[in-house]
Amino acid sequence: MDGQNTVVELSGGNLVLVVLVLLIALGALGMAVVFRKEVLAAGEGTDNMKNIAHAVQEGANAYLQRQFRTLGIFAAVAFVFLLALPADDIGVRIGRSVFFLVGAGFSAAIGYLGMSLAVQANLRVAAAANTVGRDPAMRIGFRTGAFVGMATVGLGLLGAATVVLVFRDSAPEVLEGFGFGAALLAMFMRVGGGIFTKAADVGADLVGKVENNIPEDDPRNAATIADNVGDNVGDCAGMAADLFESYAVTLVAALILGSQAFGDDGLVFPLVIPAIGALTAVLGVYITRPRAGENGLTTINRAFYISASVGAVASVLAAFVYLPGSFSEFANVGGADMATASGDPRVIASLAVVIGIVMAAGILALTGYYTGTEYGPVKGVGESSLTGAATVILSGLSVGFESAVYTTLVIGAAVFGAFLLGGATVTVSLFAVALAGCGLLTTVGVIVAMDTFGPVSDNAQGIAEMSGDVSPEGAQILTELDAVGNTTKAITKGIAIATAVLAATALFGSYSTSVIEALAEASPTRDELSRLTFDVFNPGVLVGVLLGAAVVFMFSGLAINAVARAAGAVVYEVRRQFRDIPGIMEGTGRPEYGKVVDIVTRDSLRELVAPGVLAVLSPIAVGFGLGVGALAGFLAGAIGTGTLMAVFLANSGGAWDNAKKLVEDGHHGGKGSASHEATIIGDTVGDPFKDTAGPAINPLIKVMNLVSLLIAGAVVSLSVGEDQNDVLRIAIALVSLALIVFAVVVSKRRGNVMTDDAPAQAHTTT
């Protein structure tokens, strides 16, 4: 079957199913509107709370508007790039480019809509904690996340189902553009928002808590508004876009491989599974109700497990109702190999989906263990604060390294287990991996709700502290919800990483299929074919593996260094204000909050270029320069290294953050002690780990896989056969490499030019 063109003609029954999926997508968007109204119906609190929340809203809106103007340039360039790539016909080429814009637009919309509600919900959570108690406050925070979750599910299904309905047999090619648009924009939003939020957070902590011994969200600190804005543009807008692209790209990979493996049925069944997930997500939201005296994390986890279990059962039933009981039914798609294949497609599909759901549950448990305040790893990091910041950092690094191993084993077991299910052909095996990703998608609605709950509760605590209008009981409730939110954010990062690996593995399989098809058309000689092999002992493939791993390291380094530079500028600016504005420390002078917001806005936007250029052009440079074999190794190296690196960064940062919360709750000396200062330093190290570099690796590896999939045919045609053109091929590689080097060098040369005596503008206008 591999390498054969697939003809897909949707039958009447399948057309009805696709239309039904579209209706479920619209229903999910309708539920999002319902949840939004529930949130906005809650009380807004005191005038002081409203004023602070309004400042945060203004800063977040201004940042996103400037970011979207910047990203419009990248989107325009990518649109032209897609138009230039070959396709079966001009309609497919145009459709692929148009749905690239749709995917990018949906990703931007999810980020913006999530942020716009979050900046209104944080105020309401703070007010509820102060007036009516923990459970209503938690309900508002989780309903905010539910709005983002249902919007994510609804738009993802809407986009994919529309492509299938309109383009039929050409849908897989058009879906490549849809996924690429979602992934590319999410990567930029994740990097930009991550730099913004962590530069403000680190700067605020270092000057406020460490140097001046004032609380985290003290209104005397000029960086506090920027810090709260950052929670929304990074953790809400950026992460919402990230989870949407994870949803979209996983669905795209499943639909591409499904059409190759099962034809008509394979193009529809991957839509059915996440549609079931949309329904079970509503169940998960409504059963998230705390019991008396119950920890909030226990409540959220229980809702996740129940909704996931219902989704698993419903998905198995759907597989047995929809799919045939023999591979002979797919002989017209896969030929003789499929006609004689053994096994039951219904069983394979069912087990693959269940594997994905079980993997999500396993990662939830693992991440919760390594980042939760009630478990040994975080308690150990907190205890290490008694001997200083160095041991806090060392113990947090240890937690990150160890957790990465176990999480990777769970992901690897799921990928390999799903692959082994499809014994018929390699394409069926890869489709099983993609279906495992679809199984994981059944949990996305609740996962996104869990993720958004984190920054909303964090912001609520900040607004409460800055306003000074919250009772001690209300402040304690918000502290508890913030700690729960830290863990849920870490959990969702782990599941997003798993989704990225499943999607990247499936896309990797699509890449190999595209290469095989291109080689069949080019008819290379035996010598030429030997140079294009994917064999791991081929030096070109090994070099590709090393380069793929190196890109992950370089990308992470650029992101973390960008936070360090921007945070340094924040530190200098806040120090200047403490020194030059009379009465700040006494509470009679007003800090200039807008200047700090301006610093981190400008720095985060200018730092988008180098990581973006690296992600898009590195596979082009490797593919055209070293060939399709080296590019295969490149993708393998990026997937393997990216998985470990992302988990390590996310969990070490989560452990440091919650260790700080542990000390602030009164352990090991409590607030203001030497232990507290040590955990603050650990937390500032972990901030760019868990909220900038780590999460951005997820869209990075998918962007590189999608770019590789898009250029595979062009690389082969320029390498062998009648259209071979080594001069053009090498020229493309060299130009791509030159642009990468230029972007990285410019980024590295920026440096922090400010000193304590330099004006803020000296940094922001370079």
Closest CA to 607 of 502, 504, 497, 749: 749
Would you state the pLDDT for residue 404? 92
Cα 396 to Cα 211, 218, 454, 619: the distances in Å are 23, 27, 21, 33
Would you state the pLDDT for residue 501? 84
Q: How do residues 461-506 score in pLDDT, each as one tens digit? A: 888 877 777 888 888 888 888 878 877 877 777 777 888 888 888 7
What CA–CA distance (Å, rounded) separates 128 from 40? 12
What CA–CA distance (Å, rounded) separates 194 from 235? 7
Would you state the pLDDT for residue 401? 95
Query: For residue 686, how far is the Cα from the chain centroid?
Result: 18
Hey, what are 217's tokens? 């969200």
What CA–CA distance (Å, rounded) separates 210 from 216? 10
Q: Residue 463 in contact with residue 123, Cβ under 8 Å?
A: yes
Burial category of 90 from C-beta neighbours within 10 Å (exposed 0-12, middle 13-18, buried 19 and up): exposed
**457 Cβ contact partners less than 8 Å away, ≥ 6 residues apart:** 122, 125, 141, 478, 481, 482, 484, 485
Would you state the pLDDT for residue 764? 35
What three-state secondary structure class fits 472? helix
CA dihedral 453, 456, 462, 466 (to 10 degrees): -140
Q: Residue 73 in contact with residue 161, Cβ under 8 Å?
A: no
Residues in the chain, total: 766
Closest CA to 160 of 6, 312, 27, 21: 21
Mean pLDDT by 10 residues, the chain (766 residues): 46 82 93 93 85 81 82 86 79 89 91 86 88 87 90 90 84 85 86 84 79 76 80 76 81 80 79 91 88 81 90 93 77 54 82 90 86 88 92 94 93 90 76 87 84 84 81 85 78 80 80 74 61 70 93 93 87 87 80 83 83 91 91 92 92 89 86 88 89 86 88 84 84 95 85 45 35
Single-letter residue type at 231: D
**138 Cβ contact partners less than 8 Å away, ≥ 6 residues apart:** 290, 296, 299, 481
The whole model's pTM is what?
0.83
Q: Residue 217 in contact with residue 232, Cβ under 8 Å?
A: no
Would you state the pLDDT for residue 52? 81
- Report the 10 Å Cβ neighbour count for 524: 18
Cα 713 to Cα 85, 334, 374, 516, 744: the distances in Å are 9, 21, 52, 9, 29
What CA–CA distance (Å, rounded) separates 298 from 313? 23
For residue 306, what is the enclosing H or E element?
helix 296-322
Q: Residue 271 in contact with residue 153, Cβ under 8 Å?
A: no
